Structure 1
Amino acid sequence: MDSEQPAVRASPIFPVTDLPRALEHYAALGCTVSTHDDGYGFAAMGGVELHLVVVADHDPLRTAAAAYLHVPDADAVAAMWADVPRTGAPVDTDYGLREGWHIDPDGNLLRFGSPLPSTG
């Protein structure tokens, strides 16, 4: 009997207060955006699909979400997002990754990172 696990995908769900604004924001990051209805939308890029749901009582200090994006080149992502406010330049970490960050208008965090080149 084959013991391989089936492929699994994850789609983080980010709470937003204004769906059109959120879709415009994620389009500016280079995502393909679409809507399901007035309260639910999608932002997709490179195999990642974020679900954006309107939450009337969303408080970014209490109910924001986060996702980590494993990318081939953190500097390339940072350069692509450089003109979008609240994007942090990547830094080298002591655990072997180069990581940056982005916070959307609703306080949701996208961290992104790539492996540091080996120095061996």
Structure 2
Amino acid sequence: MKRENPVSHIIPMQPVRHLPRAIAFYEQLGFAVEDRRDDWGWAKLRWGDCRMMLDQSINVNPDAPRGAVLYLYPDDIDAFHAQARANGLDVPALDTTFYGMREFRIDDPDGNRLWIGQAKTA
């Protein structure tokens, strides 16, 4: 099993129903808003070296609710994507998102969602 392309960090993404209410809660807990996009229903929070994301879009389909998402950040998305395929995983093609990431999404055997991406270079 190849493990040559490391993930540099992982950020959990919590599904929320009401972004402002969730942000207020986590600020009371001690987090600060690092980035916020109300038009997306998304925010990234920080507390020291720890980060988490809040996202309203994860559970837009009430027939298929989802728990938290883990966002993995490899140093080289192309190499990581190729490695996942070489290791036998059925992964979709890389996609360039409207928010500037090259990523793919995959579920683990228990249905937990992983988003794996890297910021798009110019």
Larger-gyration structure (1/2): 1
TM-score under structure 1 length normalisation: 0.43
Q: TM-score, normalised by structure 2?
A: 0.43
